[in-house]
Amino acid sequence: MESPGMALSDKYGGDNPPAIMVRGAYKRYNPYSVVLRGLNMTVPEGTIYGLLGPSGCGKTTLLSCMVGRCQLDAGDIQVKARTKSNIGYMPQELALYQEFSIKETMTYYGRLFGMSHKQIETRTYELLKFLELPNENNIVSRLSGGQERRVSFAVALLHDPQLLILDEPTVGVDPVLSASIWQHLLDMTANGNKTVVITTHYIEEARQAHTIGLMRDGTLLAEESPSQLLLKHNCSTLEQAFLELSKRQTRRSVMDKEDENCNIETYPVPNKKPLAPLKPDNICSKSRIVAQLLKNFYWMKRNIPIMCFLMILPVVQCYLFCTCIGRDPQGLKLGVVNEELKNGMSSCSSYPSSGCNFSVPLSCRYLQNLKDKSYKLIEYDSLDEAKFAVKKNKVWGVLYFEEGYSESLGERIKMPENATDRTLSISDVNIWQDMSNQYVSNLLRRDMLSRYVMFLESVFRDCGWPVALADIPIKLEDAIYGDNNPSFGHFTAPAIISLLVYFYIKK
């Protein structure tokens, strides 16, 4: 009795123009694993091409190269369906979003293929019925393995492509359904417009294909209609024919090895550049953008806790930044060596905090101003000890007041014409700073200066002298942009805003 494959293959034969032509295809994943070894293959248009071969012989690799997912190292593949949107591809490892429902999956892929809402709806209804899939609201992750494969198959069929490339679509499918899938493929190719390339492990079901390609070790052992194949090798099943061809190939390669001492792993790769891959679709098209938005929306809908976390995370980051990093540092430590205080800084409380008397230690008033600005003052007995503390990162700087500081300051202010170099030197506040941190050192400089001017202004006020004389004759007017006393947060805010924008857009 004639099999359907026989009848159909006789009808179509190899006369049809090729829908896919593979010539001299070489592919290796690494120098020791050559997967395709100069493979030639012709898929006639309007037919079903069954690609058969043992596990690991390179079928999936070949199909991936056909759809442009991977590149050949040499040789070329010509595909008549010029663009990817003319191809329906069902990969072996299913590329479905687990958290989407069947309907959402179809909507997403339908939009990617540029279909309208109505077209997607109609086609989804037809395919779900045909492939005996459960309700469209079922979530993919809750489907069985076979059902998932059928959803993937439905996706490949969704846009009614010119060329259908199916990597083992009938695995885990009920035999009745499998028969109806084959019938559907035969109907699709019946008018000669559509072409199907299919791989399967069920060799006998491939009898229904118009052409069979038997693949082994990266080459095609035969490419014929099932009827010719059986006839030529005088076999009753395709399995027997495949066994016969495999034995011949093994004998040939043993003889080749003996004759030529040929090492198969160093198989010569022809120096011929592969053709450019399939023309990519316009990635900025409206339908693709809509598809991506839909995909994100579905994902968010199904992952509300993660979504909330992702939304709240930047807010938390921002809050932590503003409270921990964005503010000016407080409580910075400064060392003090004060030789005009015989009993140390604790004696400052016994001196008046106002007045125009230069015979009391005025350094206490200045130091109090620094304390008011949140600085922590640590007293040291000697300058060497204080400088050592700076080196050991215990304090950010040292303020040094010589003995007679206040009297010298009085002389400097009241009788500047009589002031000696010694007087001028003693009336200085000497400061040594740790400048390794630019931000902290500049902040310290600013505060020490402004607090000194404040202190001097209060002395001038108490003495009844013009307060303006206490300041240097440079007036910093209001800043045009920003603040006259900028905080660290002002500098870092743009970086944080950019980070948040990037974070949300990336999501």
Query: What residues line the site for ligand ATP (CB under 6 A)?
Result: 29, 33, 35, 53, 55-61, 92
* Nearest CA-CA partner of 212 in 232, 220, 249, 64: 220
Least distance from ligand ATP to the Cβ atom of residue 254, Å: 21
Other Cβ atoms closer than 10 A to 412: 18
Nearer to ligand ATP, 37 or 295 (CB): 37
d(CA 222, CA 369): 96
Nearer to ligand ATP, 5 or 58 (CB): 58
Least distance from ligand ATP to the Cβ atom of residue 27, Å: 8
Nearer to ligand ATP, 32 or 481 (CB): 32
Other Cβ atoms closer than 10 A to 384: 10
- The helix (H) or strand (E) run that includes residue 152 is helix 145-158
Least distance from ligand ATP to the Cβ atom of residue 58, Å: 4
Least distance from ligand ATP to the Cβ atom of residue 68, Å: 15
- List the beta bridge partners of residue 163: 87, 195
Nearer to ligand ATP, 168 or 411 (CB): 168
Least distance from ligand ATP to the Cβ atom of residue 62, Å: 7
268 DSSP 8-state letter: P
Contact present, 25 and 77 (Cβ < 8 Å): yes
Least distance from ligand ATP to the Cβ atom of residue 200, Å: 9
- Rg of the chain over Cα atoms, rounded to whole angstroms, equals 42
Least distance from ligand ATP to the Cβ atom of residue 179, Å: 22
Nearer to ligand ATP, 56 or 280 (CB): 56
Nearer to ligand ATP, 17 or 54 (CB): 54
The CA–CA distances, whole Å, from 226 to 9, 181, 208 equal: 7, 19, 8
d(CA 71, CA 81): 17
Nearer to ligand ATP, 31 or 466 (CB): 31
**Long-range contact set of residues 244-250: C-beta below 8 Å, sequence gap at least 24:** 245/214, 245/216, 245/221, 246/216, 246/221, 248/221, 249/216, 249/217, 249/221
- The helix (H) or strand (E) run that includes residue 5 is helix 4-12
Least distance from ligand ATP to the Cβ atom of residue 134, Å: 27
Assigned token pair, 431 = 């400061």
CA 407 to chain centre: 68
Assigned token pair, 23 = 């010539």
Assigned token pair, 430 = 């000497």
Least distance from ligand ATP to the Cβ atom of residue 133, Å: 24
d(CA 83, CA 102): 26
| Side chain identity, residue 161 | P
Contact present, 312 and 331 (Cβ < 8 Å): no
Contact present, 455 and 406 (Cβ < 8 Å): no
Least distance from ligand ATP to the Cβ atom of residue 239, Å: 16
| Side chain identity, residue 94 | L
Residue with tokens 């009745």: 176
Nearer to ligand ATP, 39 or 96 (CB): 39
Number of H helices, E strands in the chain: 16, 13
Determine whether 339 is exposed, middle or buried from the number of CB atoms within 10 Å of its CB (0-12, 13-18, 19+).
Answer: middle
Nearer to ligand ATP, 28 or 365 (CB): 28
Least distance from ligand ATP to the Cβ atom of residue 260, Å: 24
Least distance from ligand ATP to the Cβ atom of residue 63, Å: 8
- List the beta bridge partners of residue 78: 21
| Side chain identity, residue 449 | L
